[in-house]
Structure 1
Amino acid sequence: MPPNSAPLASPNTGAPTDKDSLVPVPAPRSEPANEHRFDIDLMRLICSCAVILGHVAGAFILAVDRQEENGPSAYWAGHIADGANQFAVPMFFAMAGWAVLMGAPPRDSARMWTRIIRNGTPLFVWTAAYLGWAWLRDDNDKPMTDLTVDALFGSVQPAYHLWFLYAYIPIIMALGFLVLIRAGQRPWGLGIALLVIATLPNILATISEFTDWRVPTVGWSFGTYSVVYAIGGAMLFALPKGLSRRGRWLVVPLMLAAMAGCIWWDTQVHYVIPNAHPFVAILTLSLLLLVSRVRIPERWRPRLTKLAAAAMGAYMVHVFFVEELVKRWVTDDYGPLTASGMLIAMVSMTIVLSYGASLLWGKLGLRRWLG
């Protein structure tokens, strides 16, 4: 058939077809029904530990006031570790995209709101916990009332690591909204909520014009880079086959080169490298290809799933241990071997304490509140 010719008419059987119906046909799922992706569990575990690595590394960098001359061993130990973890935030966006678009797309608005509440509840519980902790230590830089109001709109000290959820929740809302629209539904509540998020800075600015109220910083938003990571991650995680063993080994040098690029940028240009930087994107892509569809031995799967379920809780609580233990013990006068040993010891301690705490409240039935 010539490219510009019309298709031949098919006989009219009287039965409705997709073209005859006004109801959109849902896109087919790329995942077999009830398939559990143990490689995604592994990636969640890797990314959670990478976040902890990055914050412990930050304690080493801050111990020398970000200056190499104040302690070269601690400085380089911190920056090397920090460069190795830069994939964590982009990969969390990639896994979010896969979950909403491919792995477990919402069937209706109620289920989407359940997912939002499941992520939002620990955000505010832990924000309150961190603010209360800082108040008990007399470490708040503002009155508690001001910090509480600010926390409704964006992350605050000392819960600095929770900024991610102020971007994560809106992006899963937006992706879920599109999935439901595609399925022929009308998720008005999600649409209104997204409109409020989009206009919130200007709403607050308008209120400020009439009341002289100091407008809080709004963290409820997401950038272009996070959308690209989410959509790209959904596509790549959904590929039916991963790389061959040889292909995985070929990805490793690319990943190490991207890590080196991140370290160079952090030490020679600006600390911290942006999540949208090409070095970070290459590092994220390399790790995704390395781990996606990797086969997890059956004897490891129950333990891996249990740890992956505790990953969010470990992420939430680990800053307590970084601030109260790591920063108290890290100094600027280490030699190369001591700095390396202390870094390994501090990371291991923080991971064990964070996951131990998360597993404990999981057994107590507090996962809904504490992550």
Structure 2
Amino acid sequence: MQAVGQSAQNGRAVYWTGLFLDSVTAWAVPMYFAIAGWAVLVGAPPRNGGVLRKRSLRMIIPVGIWSVVYLAWGRLRDTNGEPTSQLALDAVFGSVRPAFHLWYFYAHVPLILLLGCVILLKAGKRPWGVIAALAVVAAGPTALSDIGALTGCDVPEFGWQFGTYSLVYAVVGALLLSLPATRSTHRVRWLAGAVVSLAVVLWSQDRIHFVIPNASIFVAALTVCVLFAANGLRIPDRLRPVLGKLTDAGLGAFMFHVLLLKTIGPSFISADRGWPGAVAAAAALGIVTLASSFGLSMLWGRLKLRKYLG
């Protein structure tokens, strides 16, 4: 989409290939929040505040380290666009422009703290540390704004926040993921619904707004259809060890992959490609990115660096 300036007039094949690939995965972020909600509320409720602290640090530490990596890589290649020191300060408070894909970890951590706190309170616990963290999350935006008004300085935005839509996805996702498996006779219907929803998402991204907001009702419909179509599918036993290894490496691969895409993407994609060239280039870029990202993540997993690099 960047190669054609988000306009079909600059390269129809590349535009529609990019638009389709973005649309077909539009359910990914909502599903992430749905699974996060299910994990906290149903699958693995926290026993105490220490569990929530460990889960938060499991996200915060890799995000911090990868923020430094992306800022350093951008400075080395002169692509940061703004002073690295300013971008680093912004990253502490929740805006990682060179590593834009890390944004929803800033929403994920406060979200699991809030849901986990409710679970602990219901169980009769008194998680004072979690309460203090939530107080910082609640007061942070106003406090920074007030500091800026009093000092006249430019202050970063406080991004450790979750939106209403992410909270709803988490709570509704916990409900839907805890339902019985979808009947095989109904699975085809949900798949058909996913196809229809995808077509509407494509239309919306082309005619209304790109990138389509996660809070869009069209994205929500696609997410629900994908969830019910996949709910209850049994993974063959022979594939589970491989899937387990890929799952373990998934967070690290996600952290790294945008660095690779931003570096090698322009050499694969150009606006003047026709349909065969656009599809082939996207497929080649995807294969190289997946293989490299998961391969490196598995490597640092073997080196016991998962805690730091995801």
TM-score bin, normalised by smaller chain: over 0.9
Deviation at 1:106, TM superposition (A): 0.6
Amino acid at match of 2:149: E
Amino acid at match of 2:263: E
For residue 212 of structure 1, what is the aligned residue in structure 2? 152
For residue 30 of structure 2, what is the aligned residue in structure 1? 90
Residue aligned with 1:65, SS: coil
For residue 47 of structure 1, what is the aligned residue in structure 2? none
Amino acid at match of 2:110: P
Asked if 1:179 is matched to 2:119, the reply is yes
1:28-47 matches, cutoff 5 A: none
Q: Contact conserved, 2:268 with 2:281, CA < 8 A, in 1?
A: no
- State the distance in 2 between where 1:101 and 1:235 align: 9
Residue aligned with 1:106, SS: coil
Query: Which of the residues 189, 193, 202 maps onto 1:263?
Result: 202
Q: Contact conserved, 2:19 with 2:205, CA < 8 A, in 1?
A: yes
- State the distance in 2 between where 1:177 and 1:351 align: 36
Cα offsets for 1:9-63 (capped at 9, x unmatched): xxxxxxxxxxxxxxxxxxxxxxxxxxxxxxxxxxxxxxxxxxxxxxxxxxxx110
- State the distance in 2 between where 1:65 and 1:112 align: 42
For residue 147 of structure 1, what is the aligned residue in structure 2? 87
- State the distance in 2 between where 1:108 and 1:293 align: 30
Cα offsets for 1:209-261 (capped at 9, x unmatched): 2222211122111111111110111111112x211212111111100111111
Amino acid at match of 2:204: W
Asked if 1:254 is matched to 2:219, the reply is no
1:349-360 matches, cutoff 5 A: 349-360=288-299
Larger radius of gyration: 1
Flag structure 1 segments of 5+ consecutive residues without an equivalent.
1-60
- State the distance in 2 between where 1:112 and 1:252 align: 36
Length-normalised TM-score, structure 2: 0.98
Flag structure 2 segments of 5+ consecutive residues without an equivalent.
none
- State the distance in 2 between where 1:140 and 1:339 align: 28
Cα offsets for 1:98-122 (capped at 9, x unmatched): 1111111110011110111111100
1:254-333 matches, cutoff 5 A: 254-333=193-272
Q: Which has the higher helix share?
A: 2
Length-normalised TM-score, structure 1: 0.82
1:151-162 matches, cutoff 5 A: 151-162=91-102
Asked if 1:103 is matched to 2:50, the reply is no
For residue 366 of structure 1, what is the aligned residue in structure 2? 305
For residue 234 of structure 1, what is the aligned residue in structure 2? 174
Runs of 4+ in 1 over 6 A off after TM superposition: none
Q: Contact conserved, 2:33 with 2:170, CA < 8 A, in 1?
A: yes
Q: Count residues with an aligned counterpart.
A: 310
Query: Which of the residues 280, 284, 288 maps onto 1:345?
Result: 284
Amino acid at match of 2:176: L
1:39-78 matches, cutoff 5 A: 61-78=1-18
For residue 104 of structure 2, what is the aligned residue in structure 1? 164
